[in-house]
Amino acid sequence: MSASARRHDPRSFDHLPVVFNRFAELVGGPLNDYLAKRLPPSGERAVDLGCGTGQHAWQLSRVFGEVLAVDLSRPMLLYAQHHRSAANIHYQQRDLLDITPDRDGVFDFVLSTHTLHHLPDLSSVLQQIRSLARPGGEVVLIDNVDPRHQAPRRWFRAEARRALRADLLHHRRPIREAIELYRLSTHPGWLDHLATDVFLGSDEFEAVYGAAFPGAEFTPMYRTRAMHWHGE
C-alpha cells in the first residue's frame, strides 16, 4: 500500500500520531503501571511489536540494554524518534511478522500492546511471537476485547460522553483535561479507525492466547485483556 493510500485508509495510524499519542498519555496510566510491575530489574534485550509513538519502548529502555521497536507506520515512528529517542532504542519501520529469531535473535522481554487484533491468522502469529522469547524470557501481550467483536461509531461517542460526565462529576481529572480527552475520543479520524477494529471476546482471547502460551497469567482491564507469560 502506498503512503498516500495509507493516509486515507481508516485502519492506518499514519494520520493519527498526535491524536494517538496524546490519547494514550491521558488514559494509559493503568497499562503503564501494569507493565512496570512486570518488568525485571534489568535485562539485555527487549522488543516492542507495534510500538506506535514509542511510549512503551521508552519504558523498556529504562530497564533493558537494547530495545528493538517496530511499527508499520512511518509517521508514528517519526513521532517516536523525535519525542522518545534514546541511544538504546532502535526504531524500525517493519512488519512485526518480519521479526524472527533468525534475523533478529531472541529477547529477554517481548511486548505488544493493542496491535495483534489487526493481524489475520492470530494463532500462527502468537507462535511466532513465542519463538522470539529466549529460554526463560517473558512475553506480555495486551489487546482490546469486545463480546460484540466490533463496536459502531455511536458506541464510542456514547462512551466518550459517559467518560466526560464521570470526569466532571467525580473530579477524576481537571476540567481542561477532561474536555481534551473527550475531543480526542471523538476525533473523526480516530472514530474511523476504531470502527474498523475487530476484537476477540474475553473468553476467546484467553483461549487463543492460552493455547500458544500455556500457563500464562491473564489480567482484565477496561475493554482489554493483558497476558503475561514466563518462558521455560
Q: Which three cell numbers, joined as nine digits, stand for 225?
A: 485483556
- In the structure grid, which three cell numbers stand for residue 221, read together? 482491564
State residue 20's pLDDT score. Answer: 93
To the nearest 10°, the Cα dihedral for 70, 74, 75, 77?
30
Q: Who contacts 33 (Cβ-Cβ below 8 Å, separation ≥6)?
A: none
The pLDDT of residue 77: 97
Which residues in the chain show pLDDT less than 50? 1-7
3-149+198-230 homologous superfamily: Vaccinia Virus protein VP39 (3.40.50.150)
* Strand 133-144 to 107-113 pairing: parallel
pLDDT value for 11:
64
Enumerate residues 6+ apart whose C-beta is below 8 A from 68.
45, 46, 47, 48, 90, 92, 99, 104, 107
pLDDT of residue 2: 40
The confidence score (pLDDT) of residue 6 equals 47
What distance in Å separates the CA atoms of residue 23 and residue 189, rounded to the nearest whole number?
13
Distance between CA atoms of 162 and 143, rounded to whole angstroms?
22
Q: What is the pLDDT of residues 120-147, one digit of tens each?
A: 899 999 999 999 999 999 999 999 999 9
Instruction: Note the pLDDT of residue 33.
Output: 96
Ordered strands of the 133-144 beta sheet? 89-93, 64-71, 43-49, 107-113, 133-144, 224-230, 217-221
